[in-house]
Structure 1
Amino acid sequence: MSSLLARISRPEDLRALPSDQLPAVAAEIRSFLVQKVIASGGHLGSNLGVVELTIALHRVFDSPADTILFDTGHQAYVHKLFTGRQAAFDRLRSLGGLSGYPDPDESEHDVIGHSHASTALSYADGMAKARQLVEGDGNAIVAIIGDGGLTGGMAWEALNNLGAAKDRPVIVVLNDNGRSYAPTHGAVPAHLAALRAKRSSVSLFEALGFQYLGPVPGHEIDAIESSLRKAREMACPVVVHCVTRKGAGFQPAEQDQEDHLHTVVPAGGEATLTNVFSDELCALGEVRADLVCVTAAMPGPTGLTAFGERFPGRMFDVGVAEQHAIASSAGLALGGLRPVVAIYATFLNRAFDQLLLDVAMHRRPVTIVLDRAGITGPDGPGHHGMWDLAILSAFPELTVGAPRDPQRLRELLREAIELPGPAVLRFPVSGASEDLEAVERIGSVDVLWSTGQDVLLIAIGSTAGACLEAAEQLSAEGFGVTVADPRWVLPVSPGLLQLVHGKTLVVTVEDGVVSGGAGAGIAQACAPGTRVRNLGLPRAFIQHGSREELLAAAGLTGAGIVRAVRAEAGTWGAAWSPESRYVVPPPGDGSLPKAGVIGISQVADMTWS
């Protein structure tokens, strides 16, 4: 490790350095980040852009006595370097290692742990109100927002409150690099561009009641420090407008026009389901002039960039505004178009009301495509897309599909845009695996394996591969196994219930939360007396780690499914075929359990820290 950075283990060490050494510190930080993040994967461009800004923040403010809140916490890596976590970067975003976002369990300097945008200003508003009510000590509250976060409506709800409270000083630091993943669009980014170019002498923030300082050159430490000190002395709501460059100081990031290396991943380069979706969407766009697309500030990550390039004017980036994206799509459908909204599964949580009451209730033909469904891996609990099936199972007039492979993604997308009402498709962040062909189709249900009537494994989407692995092992042990993929998982199809009939045990497998998920809906739809075991993710906030590690911990592998079936077989005792080989012996006298649906269960040996 370079000499200056090695001497900084707490903010006091940074403040003790003379100003003329700070450019060298900034250079060392950039070298450190490039080396560590390229090796492990993570957010690179957004952190390279805030090096000088973070140095200034920790020299002017005394964390944790002064509260520093990072909106969209992927820009907090430099903050972590200054707060005792340099050595932990060797295990950045790995299981049991350093989180890629602020985490209060890691450090007292991380006040909030969150990875969704446009929230920090609301935290700041609440903390300022609390501090006023309990006669606070005068310490500062600083919220850093940017990288597209100011395009979110929630940020403006907070600004509406903050600007009116002259006696509650909050410092809003706007990290303005003109981008989210891609360049930001809309009236607010246009206004910020006018302020940057000094074409406007009055800021919108002043109209909302803030004092405004800027634009400040965001890579000049002295200038940032001076503005921050002035903001603190004002003792009122202040916006400090810092102009930065995403990826600053690293040529490959500065030259990457798509997202300035917003995120880097370790070498691999395999095609993904996102690529498959992108290609199929473009093909559909060629034959359907009424097909339009909507993204919430993430055209590249969700696969919409190619569609927007091929069909200018038919792709709309609405900013970090999932609620607006869904409600606007209802308007597009009302106007006679077929909108496809592509967002991460975790961000669908933000638009529950709009999907329920603006789309589903009115049966608007909107197709929602959820990328990163299930376990996403190293981004951690705020990014796992594991609640979508449980949420969507409560929606009437909504059809939900889960493709198991690239060909099914193409099929279901084509079917979705032909439906008379709304549809949702979900798929994980994973490579585009080989297609898993069916041996038979019953209604809309694909049968992937069939050797008997003992066990029916119902594979929800990407769990099909693990179910087939389990079927092979269980068949070798004497179980008669059928594996079915419903394709359209909600509502439960008659074809699936036809397959359930006559099976001794039904096991549903999904990479969503098991409580209230698709498996629970299937269990409820089965006839009384049907023995159902639901496998899925626990009702817990699952920490970061690789997708493979976390799925294995949840028992959602071939071996995990086999263990679950063996355990259920063990409880049947003498009622089970004598040829079956038990691993778990029958309890007590081996009598059969009472008829009825087995309750939602979790893998017994699962532990979460």
Structure 2
Amino acid sequence: MSKKLLDNISNPEDLRKLNPEQLPQLAKELREFIIDIVSTKEGHLGASLGVVELTIALHYLFDTPKDLLVWDVGHQAYGHKILTGRKDNFHTNRQFGGIAGFPSIKESEFDAFGVGHSSTSISAALGMAIASNLKKETEKHHIAVIGDASIASGMAFEALNHAGVSKANLLIILNDNAIGIDPSVGAVKEYLTKVKRDKKLAVQNNIIKALNFDYSGPIDGHDLPKLLSELERLQSIKGPKFLHIITTKGKGLQKAEEDQVTYHAPGKFDKISGERIKKESSLFTKYQDVFGKTIVELADQNDKIVGITPAMLTGSSLKFMMEKYPERTFDVGIAEQHAVTLAAGMARQDLIPFCNIYSTFLQRAYDQVIHDVALQNLPVIFCMDRAGLVGEDGATHHGVFDLAYLRCIPNLIVFAPRNEIELRNILFTAQLGLEHPIAIRYPRGYGNIKDWEKPFERIEIGKGKCLKNGNKTAILSIGTIANNVSEAIKTLKHKDNFSHYDMRFVKPLDEKLLHQIFEKHPTIFTVEDGTINGGFGSCILEFASTNNYTNKVKLIGIPDEFIEHGAITKLQHKIGLDPKNLANKF
């Protein structure tokens, strides 16, 4: 069997020894390598397949890592990782103890900037380019690779606005494939589509040129000779430059090209046919689907309900509402700040907005939550998917800060359902006419109740529940981590001594119940899948201090560190939130 070109490449220096004519063969081998590993180990597939030629061309022509390369979001950087010293351990990608699924400055000098959330690349690369100017490093190149969905975000536009009047040696490459996770939306997407069809528009009526960039393109991002020629030309041009390339997400695997949404992260699949390997069907329902199906049921009965998501129609399962009520469902693109204030405007006009944003992404709209929603006490319903530990995506995606960053905001109700029925009922309660905004946080993955679609019941705001009565030690939990607590209690030798309370609301706290708990139990544990600092446990300590209780209170939750990537069960075990470790602490 003849030796492959990729076998001899461990870093970009090896890559640069090839002749340009050999690069298409390398692209073929690199795609095969990515497909081979991801088919069994899982991960982000389509995005990385789409930029194989671009990845090779950038490392071939530019002097990385001296020249700084920033990948926006980073789920397209698998080829980059393989060519920059991580080929031999790429099979550990996204696994506990293995390499990260996104570029990380701790992992490699070739990862110029750590990423995971969208639309940061232009700002970061511009900052580096300005630093190079100040240090008189005028020959250094700074490259940001950003997709058409990410460039429509407000932060990207802010950076473009600044970069266009800078003298920074910055190259922005727009990887235009008309899709993020779901298909791209909005006027910018429509403009880019027109540019692809009408080259005159690219020359005459060009948004990017109007912002003082040296614009070139659009060119075929899979044509290596063209890419190399244009990138070589751009190397000699100083100042802000912009290259528009057209690519196909999933390029090289037919199934991935045909179903780009599913093959963004398809799970395991046959590397030859591309057919997905079906997992055993679960008897249970994903929390996102509980939300998605319930909001449609509520929208059937209440025509004031609207759904909003920033580019996560599929991930949030708001796609169900889009299918049935497209005129009342809004995918606003990667624009969390806009999504929140849009919801506030709708609430001001008596609509009932369900604003569905992943917990980690709501961090990007913190000021809007405070200034535009809570300050005006507008009854926006925030549905925060992917709360708590999310698994293989790691530190950039864990939704562990929400309880801490939300509970300090006046007027805001904060609720965490213990199970699918609780989620269903709080969604029902929220649309009945709350006097305040509410944040509802729920996890990634499956619940554990088969028949959750029961008749709706109204939840009393600020009321907790006793799940088990005891007389010595009380365990207070919030959200679905209650399941781990219940499992832990079952294994205890003196389990009858333990009470277990699902507090449900972090804000407002059930103070009547808390007084009863503190008067009855000398020792109290709090358990949460959020950060200990400032979170649910902190508010219990504040209650104790305010009311002069001297009970022993012990806090269990996410430690004061960024948690790595890996299966949720392994991460819980590592930080002591699994049933066995919890039992040892009680």
Is TM (by shorter chain) over 0.5? Answer: yes
The Cα shift of 1:206 comes to 0.5
Give runs of aligned pairs for residues 250-261 of structure 1, distance below 5 A.
250-256=253-259, 259=261, 261=263
Equivalent residue of 2:227, what SS? helix
Deviations 1:2-40 (A, max 9, x none): 712111111122222223322222222222212211322
Equivalent residue of 2:236, what SS? helix
CA distance in 2, matches of 1:305, 1:157: 30
The Cα shift of 1:269 comes to 4.8
Give runs of aligned pairs for residues 329-340 of structure 1, distance below 5 A.
329-340=343-354
Aligned 8 A contact 2:305 2:354 in 1: yes
CA distance in 1, matches of 2:302, 2:356: 18
CA distance in 1, matches of 2:85, 2:286: 37
The Cα shift of 1:360 comes to 0.8
**Larger deviation: 169-178 or 132-141?**
132-141
The Cα shift of 1:536 comes to 0.3
Runs of 4+ in 1 over 6 A off after TM superposition: none
* One-letter amino acid matched to 1:449: K
- The aligned counterpart of 1:265 is 267
Aligned 8 A contact 1:295 1:316 in 2: yes
- The aligned counterpart of 2:237 is 234
Aligned 8 A contact 2:126 2:142 in 1: no
CA distance in 2, matches of 1:405, 1:272: 11
Tell me if 1:537 matches 2:558: yes
Tell me if 1:555 matches 2:555: no
- The aligned counterpart of 1:433 is 448
Tell me if 1:44 matches 2:45: yes
- The aligned counterpart of 2:98 is 97
Tell me if 1:178 matches 2:178: yes
Give runs of aligned pairs for residues 210-249 of structure 1, distance below 5 A.
210-249=213-252
- The aligned counterpart of 2:294 is 280
Q: List runs of 5+ in structure 2 lacking aligned partners.
A: 269-278, 453-458
CA distance in 1, matches of 2:556, 2:191: 50
The Cα shift of 1:210 comes to 0.3
The Cα shift of 1:498 comes to 4.2
Equivalent residue of 1:306, what SS? helix
Aligned 8 A contact 2:176 2:246 in 1: yes
Distance 1:212 1:478, change over 3 A: closer
* One-letter amino acid matched to 1:184: S
CA distance in 1, matches of 2:83, 2:410: 50
- Correspondence for 1:496 among 501, 513, 527: 513
TM-score scaled by length of structure 2: 0.92
Distance 1:262 1:152, change over 3 A: same
Give runs of aligned pairs for residues 436-451 of structure 1, distance below 5 A.
444-450=463-469
Deviations 1:232-282 (A, max 9, x none): 11112110000111111111111115x151113354553311111111111
CA distance in 2, matches of 1:360, 1:540: 29
Deviations 1:384-422 (A, max 9, x none): 111000101111111111111111111111112222221
Aligned-residue Cα RMSD (Å) equals 1.8
* One-letter amino acid matched to 1:480: N
* One-letter amino acid matched to 1:460: I
- The aligned counterpart of 2:339 is 325
Aligned 8 A contact 1:70 1:143 in 2: yes
CA distance in 2, matches of 1:436, 1:256: 32
CA distance in 2, matches of 1:357, 1:461: 27
Aligned length, in residue pairs: 558
- The aligned counterpart of 1:546 is 567
The Cα shift of 1:285 comes to 1.2
CA distance in 1, matches of 2:128, 2:504: 46
- The aligned counterpart of 2:543 is 525
Tell me if 1:424 matches 2:457: no
CA distance in 1, matches of 2:288, 2:83: 36
Q: List runs of 5+ in structure 1 lacking aligned partners.
A: 566-609
Give runs of aligned pairs for residues 340-419 of structure 1, distance below 5 A.
340-418=354-432, 419=434
Aligned 8 A contact 1:389 1:518 in 2: yes
Distance 1:359 1:92, change over 3 A: same
- Identical aligned pairs, as a percentage? 38
Equivalent residue of 2:397, what SS? coil
Equivalent residue of 2:387, what SS? coil
Distance 1:84 1:269, change over 3 A: farther
- The aligned counterpart of 1:73 is 74
Aligned 8 A contact 1:342 1:368 in 2: yes
CA distance in 2, matches of 1:371, 1:11: 39
Equivalent residue of 2:75, what SS? helix
* One-letter amino acid matched to 2:378: R
TM-score scaled by length of structure 1: 0.89
CA distance in 1, matches of 2:513, 2:212: 59
- The aligned counterpart of 1:18 is 19
- The aligned counterpart of 1:34 is 35
CA distance in 2, matches of 1:413, 1:32: 45
Distance 1:447 1:388, change over 3 A: same
Distance 1:482 1:436, change over 3 A: farther
Tell me if 1:207 matches 2:177: no
Aligned 8 A contact 1:346 1:384 in 2: yes
Deviations 1:471-510 (A, max 9, x none): 2223x32651111112222221234314413112111110
**Larger deviation: 15-24 or 302-311?**
15-24
CA distance in 2, matches of 1:262, 1:478: 46
